């Protein structure tokens, strides 16, 4: 990977700020792979990103059972996937990943479930526990294009 960054997120506000930063640079066709164990903050980060793009009052439930939630924003459609319950990568096609990945901005929890359907151009954000209960560490990586876009 040509772009790598590690960010300390000492509290939920820092995670919200990362979401706001993402919202500034994301555009149609982008796929953000959100990795990390249960409770690491994938949904919290997706929620912050979606709210930065739609409005602070937007209700952003976890797509645990629906697998995908779609939002309209000024930039275009936002797709929030939680693929934990996906049984096979082919099911992702039925969920509409092709359209999402080409015509929208996609935030994907449990992206490993996609197998080969995860576009190589994705930005990967891996969340992990930090030093205390409310802190997390985000490791961000992607291809060289992300290096330029992150500045
Ligand atoms: N710095 C932080 N960043 C994100 N979430 C945090 C942080 N500190 C505490 N939390 C809490 O951790 C939990 C993360 O849950 P969630 O976002 O649903 O995780 P995941 O989607 O990875 O399973 C939430 O209850 C959130 O309030
Ligand atoms: Mg989640």
Kindly report the CATH number assigned to the domain that includes residue 60: 3.40.50.300
| DSSP-based three-state secondary structure for 87 | coil
Ligand 1 pocket residue status of 60, Cβ below 6 Å: no
Confidence of residue 52 (pLDDT cuts 50, 70, 90): very high
Cβ-proximal residues to 116 (8 Å cutoff; 6+ apart), any chain = 89
Give how many domains the chain has, as a whole number.
Answer: 1
pLDDT-derived band at 68 (thresholds 50, 70, 90) equals very high
What's the predicted TM-score (pTM) here?
Answer: 0.98
Ion ligand 2 nearby residues (CB, 5 A): 42-43, 62, 109
Average pLDDT over residues 119-140: 97
Would the CB of 88 count as within 6 Å of ligand 1?
no
Give me the pLDDT at residue 87, please: 94
Cβ–Cβ < 8 Å for 85, 67: yes
Query: pLDDT tier at 39 (50, 70, 90 boundaries)?
Result: very high
57 touches ligand 1 (CB under 6 Å):
no
The rounded distance, in Å, linking the Cα atoms of 51 and 34 is 17
């Amino acid at each position: 990977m040509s772009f790598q960054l590690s960010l300390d997120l000492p509290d939920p506000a820092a995670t919200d700020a990362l979401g706001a930063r993402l919202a500034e640079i994301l555009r149609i066709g982008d796929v953000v792979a959100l990795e990390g164990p249960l409770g690491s903050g994938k949904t919290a980060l997706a929620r912050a990103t979606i709210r930065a793009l739609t409005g602070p009052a937007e209700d952003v439930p976890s797509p645990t059972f629906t697998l995908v939630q779609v939002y309209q924003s000024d930039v275009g459609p936002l797709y929030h996937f939680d693929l934990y319950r996906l049984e096979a990568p082919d099911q992702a096609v039925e969920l509409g990943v092709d359209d999402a990945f080409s015509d929208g901005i996609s935030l994907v929890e449990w992206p490993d479930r996609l197998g080969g359907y995860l576009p190589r151009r994705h930005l990967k954000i891996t969340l992990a526990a930090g030093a205390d209960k409310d802190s997390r560490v985000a490791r961000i990586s992607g291809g060289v294009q992300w290096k330029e876009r992150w500045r």
